[in-house]
Amino acid sequence: MYKIALLSGDGIGPEITAEAKKVLEAAGKVFDIKFEFTPALIGGCAYEKYSKPLPDETIKIARSSDAVLLGAVGDWKYDTLAPELRPERALLGIRKELNLYANLRPVVIFDELISSSALKPEIIRGTDIVIVRELTGDVYFGTPKGIEVRVDENGNGVRYGYNNMIYSENEIERIAHVAFKTARSRRKKLCSVDKANVLDVSRLWREIMIDISKQYPDVELSHMYVDNAAMQLIANPLQFDTIVTGNIFGDILSDEASMISGSLGLLPSASMSDDGSVALYEPIHGSAPDLKGLNVANPIATILSAAMMMKYSFKNNEAYDLIFNAVKSVLKDGYRTKDIFKDGDKLVSTSEMGDVICDAVLNF
Ligand code: IPM
Ligand code: MG
């Protein structure tokens, strides 16, 4: 039996995690695995109840679980809260608390959805990339940071806002190992994305990537500046196998890469620490407050995140394949949520999409 902390969060979070839970349970039937789900609050809903977005109880539940399934956090109504009370802070908080420094964001294009992408079919067909994003460092967590008044030469107070883009060599080394191992299990090409032509932190990043590459002679390492990478990703995504990059560059590039696949609602992610520690699985998209409660959100990114849980936390590649292929087959059968719907498709709601995927899992 596996214990899963269910952190549904805000907005569409509860709807999409409910579908992922259903699909996990269906896969559980096939593989004779039992799951015990323990719900816990995170984000705005936690703030409502405990006046903080990441209650200790939630961390405790996450720590004592075998894996964490997270929906999404955030709502416009919290935009005016102090930074430390905002829902997004909970996401950063739990990543830090569980030391989830390695975030894997696979970008694959389902043939069935090629026409949903804004990009030309011949450019994107066959795209299969994993973005390895460092998740607990960089400008997200660096200090000093803040907004403060400084007095200029004329004696006037001027407000400054600042963050610190900082990485220690240890932080770069450990993400490098994850990235090289990921590339090794794939097509053995690793592209490290940085801004080493301008930033010192990137110079260190690149130096260490080169150092660590000596331990992985079978993996071909290349480097790309982040601005160029942003362009290359949509100009020629097929050139990429595994990408490794820092927290903020990875955040931006993964949203960009989701447009290759046609919708932000399709991309899953796994956030991991050292072997044997609890990992967290969540879609890369946000809480979409405008879609909340409408039963229209696309649950596929969360369902595929659950599939990644089967693979990475429970070492069950068969269950991963089963869920992945079930998603593929329902897309082939023409089922589409609103975000990927085109004339002639079968329009389904969030829960109907979950249902047809469950059916496919059970009847494969
Ligand atoms: C993501 C999100 C988060 C991030 C936000 C919501 C804090 O954009 O997971 O990509 O920036 O990491
Ligand atoms: Mg993001």
124-154 pLDDT, tens per residue? 999 999 999 999 999 999 999 999 999 999 9
List pLDDT tens digits, range 151-195: 999 999 999 999 999 999 999 999 999 999 999 999 999 999 999
**Cβ neighbours of 172 (radius 10 Å):** 24
Residue with CA closest to ligand 1 atom 7:
88
CB within 6 Å of ligand 1 — which residues? Answer: 88, 91-92, 251, 284, 286
CA distance 18 to 7: 10
What SS3 class is residue 101?
coil
According to DSSP, the residues that pair with 131 across neighbouring strands are 105, 243
According to DSSP, the residues that pair with 69 across neighbouring strands are 6, 281
Residue with CA closest to ligand 1 atom 5:
88
Structure tokens at 332: 């082939």
Judge whether residue 88 has pLDDT over 90.
Answer: yes
Instruction: State mean pLDDT over 229-254.
Output: 97
Judge whether residue 262 has pLDDT over 90.
Answer: no
C-alpha distances out from residue 335 to 13, 270, 282, 291, 309, Å: 21, 25, 22, 19, 24
Residue with CA closest to ligand 1 atom 1:
284
Judge whether residue 276 has pLDDT over 90.
Answer: no
In the block, residue with structure tokens 């990043």:
205
CA distance 70 to 134: 18
Closest CA to 329 of 306, 359, 305, 303: 359
Residue with CA closest to ligand 1 atom 4:
251
Q: Quick one: which ligand is closest to 287's CA?
A: 1
Probe residue for ligand 1, chosen from 103, 251, 254, 269 as the CB with the greatest number of ligand atoms within 8 Å: 251
Q: Quick one: which ligand is closest to 72's CA?
A: 1
**H or E stretch covering 182:** helix 169-184
Query: Catalytic residue numbers?
Result: 140, 195, 227, 251, 255
Closest CA to 181 of 132, 122, 225, 123: 132
Probe residue for ligand 1, chosen from 88, 94, 254, 284 as the CB with the greatest number of ligand atoms within 8 Å: 88
Q: Quick one: which ligand is closest to 252's CA?
A: 2
Probe residue for ligand 1, chosen from 75, 86, 91, 269 as the CB with the greatest number of ligand atoms within 8 Å: 91
Residue with CA closest to ligand 1 atom 12:
251
Q: At what angle do helices 350-362 and 300-312 cross, to 10 degrees?
A: 40
pLDDT number for residue 263: 86
| Type of residue at 138 | D
| C-alpha 270 to ligand 1 mean position (Å) | 13
According to DSSP, the residues that pair with 245 across neighbouring strands are 133, 193
Relative to the CA of 282, which ligand 1 atom is closest? 9
Residue spans of beta strands (DSSP E) within the chain: 2-9, 35-39, 67-72, 102-108, 128-134, 146-151, 157-162, 189-194, 220-225, 242-245, 268-272, 279-283, 335-336, 346-347
| C-alpha 286 to ligand 2 mean position (Å) | 8
String of DSSP letters for 187-253:
TSEEEEEE-TTT-HHHHHHHHHHHHHHTT-TTSEEEEEEHHHHHHHHHH-GGG-SEEEE-HHHHHHH
| C-alpha 251 to ligand 1 mean position (Å) | 6
CA distance 172 to 193: 12
pLDDT number for residue 273: 97
| C-alpha 218 to ligand 1 mean position (Å) | 33
Confidence of residue 115 (pLDDT cuts 50, 70, 90): confident
Q: Quick one: which ligand is closest to 305's CA?
A: 1
pLDDT number for residue 264: 87
Structure tokens at 318: 């068969």
Look up the pTM and report it: 0.95
| C-alpha 204 to ligand 2 mean position (Å) | 24
| C-alpha 46 to ligand 1 mean position (Å) | 18
**Cβ neighbours of 54 (radius 10 Å):** 27
Instruction: State mean pLDDT over 52-60.
Output: 97
**First-residue to last-residue Cα distance in the chain:** 23
